[in-house]
Structure 1
Amino acid sequence: MHSVVAALVGLAGGVCVLLTVVSAVKTVVVPRASPVLITRVVFVAMRGLFAAVLWRSRDFRSKDRVMALYAPFSLLMLPVVWLVLVVGGYTAAFWSLGVRPWPEAFLESGSSLLTLGFRPPTDTITALLTFSEAVIGLGLLALLVSYLPSIYASYSRRELMVTALDSQAGSPPSAAELLEREARIDGIGELDTFWQEWARWFADIAETHTSTPSLVYFRSPQPDRSWVTAAGAVLDAAALVASTLDAPKQPSADLCIRSGYLALRNIGDFFVMPYDPDPAPDDPISITRAEYDAVCLRIAEAGGRLKPDRDQSWRDFAGWRVNYDAVLLRFASLCMAAPALWSSDRAVPFSRAPVTRRRARSRL
């Protein structure tokens, strides 16, 4: 009976180590969005700790300073949790091989993982366990060391465009301010390169923020900036150009919208965000007709030419916005983005509610 218990304990320890290694590989090495229980638990637990601190913060800037530490701290907690689980798993394995009592097995495991060598193995099997644990410990740390430069390279590319948007769309950014400024310099018809650059940006975040989902939580260097509000401002501006402004047709603006809402949906799928993948053009959106008309008035006063049929323009705009409205607002809540027009100023509380995925309707 005792040997059966020892075998079961050893098996449980081996499973714990295996699951930990698989978790680390999926988190760091596998280049696609792979839900990982250990990683999710760490980030959710850290979010709870930071939420407990946030209740003392009254203004947004104080909250931003606190949340700026959330993603880095959560990321650095991952290897700590991995190493703790490996130590626990190998402690069970050493105990099952006769290293008794439990404190002795723990010391044997800790000595092996940290390659301290103050607990020499007593036989060949124990030596093999010692060597394997040392290799796993070094491997996990090496994975993290190689992981960090990749994360910050992706973060730097993302934030370069977010920062550049300041000069055109303000801080926090808005489609109204972007098109106002372009109208004043008669530049609305010259935005083709702008839409192409942002279409590539959306494609980039679709890849990096699904293969490395922790990037979603990394905040911009300035409190008034956010990748979420930048995405919303660009998409709304493109939707206004495609639907409302009386300017030469800009196919790149339409493609930018498609690239944007597909990127947001792809990232949202990892977080199990609810949205309708095939919305009807007349489905409700979070923006009211009065808000739309107010932005149109701002653009017209700045010199922008609007299409004469405002009712049809509104229907066209809503038909574009409905493709990204729900996901954008949930990301604004998830990331606690700075208040910005038509995005984080009406953020929808984040919740996971899986829905049936169908092929999205394309208006192109």
Structure 2
Amino acid sequence: MVNVIAAVAGVLVLVVVWSSVLRTVLIPRRTSSRMARWTVRIAAAGGTAIARRLPRRACEAVMDFCAPVSLMLMMIGWLVGLGVGFSLLAVAAGVAFDSDAIIRFFELKLEGAAGALAVFAAVSVIVMIAIFLAHVVRFVDAYSRRERLVVRLAAQASQVPDGDKVLADYLRSGSRDNLDNHFAEWAAWLSDIHNSHANYPGLVYHRSAGELWWPQAALIVMDAAALVDAVAPKWAPPHTRVLLDSGTACLQQLAARMGIVIPEMTVSLHGREECSFGDTVQLTTAAGLPGERDPYRAWAAFQDTRVRYAPYAVMIESRLLCQPDLRKSEDEYPSYL
């Protein structure tokens, strides 16, 4: 009876472990295994709690390790699961857990069912390590895709209000179709972030390569699209709404995965506290944007769209400790809410 129970328990443990592995690495969908999510939460919670109490440089050093540590915890969890599962099967096969038997088990020197089980365990470990390395390669590739546009945008903008200048530059230097191409590229970028960061939760906490962070970059490009949609809705290129919809879904759902809750609001000044909307309208219309709405109606339309994404981007920045003034807890930032 003990052998039967041990065999059933071992098989169940192995099924759960391999289900977690396959769901995390090989099943393409906007989700991930519980192992991937919980290891990220543990690493992020521990890293953030420590980093908040450290100077800026030390804070960055601690936060740099959140994503790598979450990956290592996930791998360790899988290996421990394999160890438990095969240990239970070894008990069912009659392997005595003394030092000599354990050494012969790992040296693949046992015979019969125990020997076959040892070979199967070794093959499973090798296959799992190979799958994990493939997962790391995909993780790094997704990170590179995210940072590629951020680095390019950083040459034009470093703060949220700079999005007005970026939009004005595009309006002066190109046609409506050219602006639509930029909006399409940004929409595809945000959709890729949405998909990859849902599949690989650790990517959310992986630090940016430069001074501009991906939530800030998302806020800049979405503000540009929201301005076009608010000031000239009939003239707006086709991908304007695509960019806004994909970006809103990305930020809202990633914020929800991080446990961020934003109360309902009617005005969002996040990052634009010192930016006059009248000056923004004047700058963009002078650059070639048709003024189909007066500034008051445009302001209302702009805010109706912005409250759906800007607060989420800022609170994600706060959770990631992106800026020195965002290192305190979210409860100390009522202005953001």
Give the whole-Å Cα distance in 2 for the aligned partners of 1:105 and 1:90. 14
Maintained 8 Å contact 2:32/2:200: no
2:110 matches 1:121: yes
For structure 2, which runs of at least 5 residues remain unmatched after alignment?
332-337
Maintained 8 Å contact 1:33/1:213: no
Letter of the structure 2 residue corresponding to residue 41 of structure 1: W
How far apart are 1:330 and its partner, in Å?
Answer: 3.9
Residue-by-residue CA offset, 1:92-147 (whole Å, 9 max, x unaligned)? 221232222365665466x1xxxxx2x5123x221221122112101101101222
Query: In the alignment, which residue of structure 2 is the partner of 1:152?
Result: 140
Q: TM-score, with normalisation over the residues of structure 2?
A: 0.81
Among residues 217, 222, 231, which one is paired with 1:235 in the alignment?
A: 222
2:317 matches 1:328: no
Query: In the alignment, which residue of structure 2 is the partner of 1:353?
Result: none
Secondary structure of the residue aligned to 1:234 is: helix
Residue-by-residue CA offset, 1:149-208 (whole Å, 9 max, x unaligned)? 2222221111110011112222xx31x213135547862874333212211212222332
Maintained 8 Å contact 2:267/2:303: yes
Maintained 8 Å contact 2:44/2:205: no
Query: In the alignment, which residue of structure 1 is the partner of 2:149?
Result: 161
Maintained 8 Å contact 2:251/2:309: yes
- Tell me: CA distance 1:265–1:186, structure 2 relative to 1, closer, same or farther (3 Å): closer
How far apart are 1:17 and its partner, in Å?
Answer: 2.0
- Tell me: CA distance 1:269–1:188, structure 2 relative to 1, closer, same or farther (3 Å): farther
Give the whole-Å Cα distance in 2 for the aligned partners of 1:75 and 1:185. 40
Residue-by-residue CA offset, 1:244-281 (whole Å, 9 max, x unaligned)? 479953343233212211333454565566579xx8xx
2:279 matches 1:297: yes
- Tell me: CA distance 1:293–1:87, structure 2 relative to 1, closer, same or farther (3 Å): closer
User: What is the 5 A alignment of 1:1-364?
Assistant: 4-59=1-56, 61-101=57-97, 107=103, 111=106, 117=107, 119-122=108-111, 124-170=112-158, 173-174=159-160, 176-180=161-165, 182-183=167-168, 187=172, 190=175, 191-222=179-210, 224-244=211-231, 248-268=235-255, 274=261, 283-287=265-269, 291=273, 294-297=276-279, 300=282, 309-338=294-323
How far apart are 1:240 and its partner, in Å?
Answer: 1.9
Secondary structure of the residue aligned to 1:133 is: helix
- Tell me: CA distance 1:296–1:254, structure 2 relative to 1, closer, same or farther (3 Å): farther
Number of positions where the alignment pairs a residue of Structure 1 with one of Structure 2? 325
Give the whole-Å Cα distance in 1 for the aligned partners of 2:133 and 2:114. 29
Maintained 8 Å contact 2:94/2:114: no
Residue-by-residue CA offset, 1:18-71 (whole Å, 9 max, x unaligned)? 211111111111111334222233222222432353144133x43223212211
Maintained 8 Å contact 2:7/2:89: yes
- Tell me: CA distance 1:324–1:199, structure 2 relative to 1, closer, same or farther (3 Å): same
Secondary structure of the residue aligned to 1:249 is: coil
Query: Which segment drifts farther, 140-149 or 328-337?
Result: 328-337
Residue-by-residue CA offset, 1:307-358 (whole Å, 9 max, x unaligned)? 7733312210122113324533443234333379xxx799957xxxxxxxxx
Give the whole-Å Cα distance in 2 for the aligned partners of 1:246 and 1:134. 62
Bigger proportion of residues as helix: 2
Give the whole-Å Cα distance in 1 for the aligned partners of 2:232 and 2:54. 42
- Tell me: CA distance 1:347–1:46, structure 2 relative to 1, closer, same or farther (3 Å): closer
Maintained 8 Å contact 1:329/1:348: no
Letter of the structure 1 residue corresponding to residue 207 of structure 2: R
Q: TM-score, with normalisation over the residues of structure 1?
A: 0.76
Amino-acid identity (%)? 24
Letter of the structure 1 residue corresponding to residue 228 of structure 2: V
Maintained 8 Å contact 1:33/1:212: no
Maintained 8 Å contact 2:52/2:328: no
Maintained 8 Å contact 2:153/2:217: yes
Maintained 8 Å contact 2:10/2:89: yes
